[in-house]
Each structure stands twice: as C-alpha cells, then as structure tokens.
C-alpha cells in the first residue's frame, strides 16, 4: 500500500543519501580513480606522477603470472572461508547461550575483550602461547601425549595458527551484532513455540536462525570483505614462516608499495583484489537471496 506519491519518496531517498554521496565522491571516488591511473604507470612515489612511465596493463599481467601473488590469493581464500564460517558459527552459539543468561553484561564484556585489544597486542600474546618449547598450547598438548607443534614456523601449520587467532579475536564483534539482532526478535514467538512444545534446539533452528538471517547476511558479507583484506595478524605472526605459506594479498600490496616502492604494481594488486572481493560479495548476497530472504538483496 502506497500512502504518499512515489515521487516524494524517491526524492527523500536521494536526499537521505546526499551526505554519503558527497563524501564518497571525494574520499573514495578520487582516490580510486587516482589509484587506477597509478596502476597503469611505473611509479616509485619519488618522482612526480606525471613523469612516471606509462605501462598499460602490464602490471596486471605480471601479477596474474606471479607465483607469490597467486599463492597469496589462494592463502587469503582459505583464510576467509574458514575464519568467517567458523567464527560466525561460534559467535552465534555463544550469543544465544549468553542472551538472557545470568550476568549477561559481564559475559558479553569478557567475550568482547579481544575486540578492544589492539591487533598488535593480540599477535604478541598469541606469539607467546604458540612458542614451540615452552608455550602454553604445546604444554597442553603434552598432557595428551601429543608431539609439540611448530605453530608459527611450520609451513603447513602457520596459516592455520594465524586463522585460529583470527577466529578467536573475531567472535566478540560478531556476537555483539548478533545480540542486537536477537533483541529484535519478539518474545511472543518463543512463547508461542513453547506452548506448542518446542524445545530449545527447535526454537533455535526454527525461530532464531531464520529471523537472524539479515544479521547473518551482514556478518557473512562484511566478514568476507574484511577477511579478504587481512593484514595485521599474518604480518605480525607470519614473519618466521616461509612467505609462500602465510602471505596474504594485502600484505603483498603493502610490501610492493612501501618496501619495493612499486606503487603501480601495488595498485594493480589492489584492483585485482577488489574484483575478487566484489564477486565473492555478490555470490554471498545471491546465496542468501536464494535461501529465502527476498527483499534483503
């Protein structure tokens, strides 16, 4: 049922978007166009850009044929799929468990602790936990007679150790958002379900999960977007592992730009990364839409 003329609501739609549009044209549009131009130049950031040699799309070609860049893409793919799915599942379980529990403010606060702790500190702390000879995790494994693991130096393990830390540090943020989502589910639904004799697991599966879908979509999409750009933790924790096993795309872009002084190639890497993330995000939106949330994209 339309109450007002569509024209007015159309206009309102644009007006509400105005601040964002102004902002993005300046702080997003300009930098992206600038970087795109840079990606077709050979520029070391020291000479004026106008003097940089034009190289067309050769940076893109180089990257797509570069072993390390492709490994970085593969590592980041593994990282994003596993961290997002695992950390979201755990966050959902804990959000539901804590919601309505005694001392819920305290629990939520504790689970949120890693989110307020700077990533550098988290990297340092887990570095301690992961030490091969006297780290906490290995002494724990020892109790079960398991051989010590070289968490951060073994090329086959290092990326998974970093993912474990990332999953751990990502739970709190997702939990907070899921809790806000849980707050929006009317209590009546649960009351009605109880009368029908549904147990806690049925309530979770038939009420909580479907009604949280918009929130889950948000967390999956932004989680993916964030995970694809992961930089801090691998950069801090992966220094002693062979680069091929832990290098991520953002790390590659960073290193190419500010250590190798190849801003052109780095920008090309950023645009390739953008293409990948954009396709992945559309895929996520499409999957959710097929999963029955019409109107939520």
Partner 1 sequence: MNKNKKAKVRILLEFIRYSIIVFGAFWMILPFFWLFSASLMTPEELLSDVPKWLPAKPQWNNYLEVLKRIPLLMYYKNSFIVAITVTLIVVFTSSFSGYSFAKLRFPGRKIMFRFVLSTMMFPVFIFLIPVYYLMKLFGWLDNYLSLIVPFVVSGYGIFLMRQFIMTIPDELLDSARIDGASEFRIYISIILPLLKPALATLGILTFIGQWNSFLWPLIVTTSSQHLMTLPVGISRLSLAFSTTETQHLILTALVYQVIPMVVVFLYLQRYYIRGFVLSGFGNI
Partner 2 sequence: MMRKLIVFLLVVALVLTAFSVFGKTKLIMAVHWSDYQVEGVKDENGNLVKKGLRQYVEEYMAFHPNVEIEIQSVPFDEYLKRILISHTSGEIADIYVLYSLWSVQLVESGILDSPPKDVVDKVKNDFVKPAVDGTTIYGNIWGVPIEVDNYALIYNKKLLKEAGFENPPKTWDELVEMAPKLTKRNEDETISQYGFAFLSGWDSAVVHPYLALLYSNNGKFLKDDFSECLLDSKEAIEALEAELELFKNGGTDPAASVWSFPAGKVAMMIMAPWYETSLKLGFKDEYEETVGVAPIPYMKKPATVGYTWFISVDNASKNKEVAWDFIRWMTLVDSNGFTRMGELMAKNIGAIPPKKSDIAYFTDELNDLYTSVFVKELEHTHQEPNVAQGQEIKTILMREIVEAWNGRKTAQEALKDAKKQIDEILAEFY
Residues 153-192, interacting with partner 2 (CB under 8 A):
153, 155
Q: Are 277 and 225 in contact (CB under 8 A)?
A: yes
53 phi and psi angles, rounded to 5 deg: -70, 140
| Residue 41 three-state SS | strand
**Residue 147 near partner 2 by CB under 8 A:** yes
| Residue 273 binding target from partner 2, partner 1, none, CB below 5 to 8 Å by type | partner 1
| Strand, coil or helix: 163 | helix
Q: Binding to partner 1 (CB under 8 A): which residues in 131-150?
A: 131, 134-136
**Residue 228 interacting partner from partner 1, partner 2, none (CB closer than 5 to 8 Å by kind):** partner 1
C-alpha distance from residue 62 to each of 40, 56, 74, 281 (Å): 12, 11, 17, 26
State the nearest-atom distance from the C-beta of 67 to partner 2, in Å.
Answer: 10
Q: Is residue 173 near partner 1 by the rule CB under 8 A?
A: yes
Q: CB-wise, 8 or 53, nearer to partner 1?
A: 8
| End-to-end Cα distance, the chain | 21
Q: Does 283 bind partner 1 (CB under 8 A)?
A: no
Minimal distance in Å, beta carbon 258 to partner 2? 5
Q: Cβ of residue 260: shortest distance to partner 2, in angstroms?
A: 4
Count of residues that bind partner 2 according to CB under 8 A? 24
Q: How far is CA 198 from CA 18, 96, 188, 192, 207, in A?
A: 47, 16, 14, 9, 10
From residue 90 to residue 109, the character string flagging contacts with partner 1 as x (rule: CB under 8 A) and all else as - is ----x--xx-xx---x-xxx
193 binds partner 1 (CB under 8 A): no
The contacts of residue 148 (CB under 8 Å, 6+ apart) are: 132, 133, 138, 141, 142
């Amino acid at each position: 049922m339309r109450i007002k003329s569509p024209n007015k609501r159309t206009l309102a739609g644009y007006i509400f978007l105005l601040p964002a549009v102004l902002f993005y044209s300046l702080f997003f549009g300009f930098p992206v166009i600038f970087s795109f131009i840079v990606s077709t130049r050979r520029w070391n950031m020291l000479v004026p850009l106008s003097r940089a040699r034009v190289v067309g799309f050769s940076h893109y070609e180089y990257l797509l044929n570069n072993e390390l860049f492709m490994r970085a893409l593969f590592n980041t793919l593994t990282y994003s799929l596993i961290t997002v799915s695992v950390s979201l599942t755990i966050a959902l379980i804990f959000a539901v468990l804590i919601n309505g529990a005694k001392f819920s403010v305290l629990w939520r606060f504790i689970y949120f602790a890693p989110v307020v702790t700077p990533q550098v500190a988290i990297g340092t702390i887990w570095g301690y936990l992961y030490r091969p000879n006297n780290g906490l995790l290995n002494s724990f494994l020892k109790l079960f007679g398991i051989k010590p693991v070289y968490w951060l130096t073994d090329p086959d393990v290092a990326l998974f150790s970093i993912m474990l830390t990332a999953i751990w540090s990502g739970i709190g943020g997702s939990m907070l958002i899921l809790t806000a989502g849980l707050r929006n589910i009317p209590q009546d639904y649960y009351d009605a379900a109880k009368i029908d004799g549904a147990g806690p697991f049925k309530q979770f599966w038939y009420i909580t999960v479907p009604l949280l879908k918009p929130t889950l979509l948000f967390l999956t999409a932004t989680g993916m977007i964030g995970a694809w750009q992961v930089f801090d933790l691998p950069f801090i924790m992966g220094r002693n592992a062979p680069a091929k096993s832990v290098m991520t795309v953002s790390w590659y872009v960073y290193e190419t730009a500010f250590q190798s002084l190849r801003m052109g190639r780095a920008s090309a890497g950023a645009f390739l990364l953008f293409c990948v993330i954009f396709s992945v995000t559309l895929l996520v939106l499409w999957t959710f839409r097929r999963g029955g949330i019409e109107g939520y994209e």
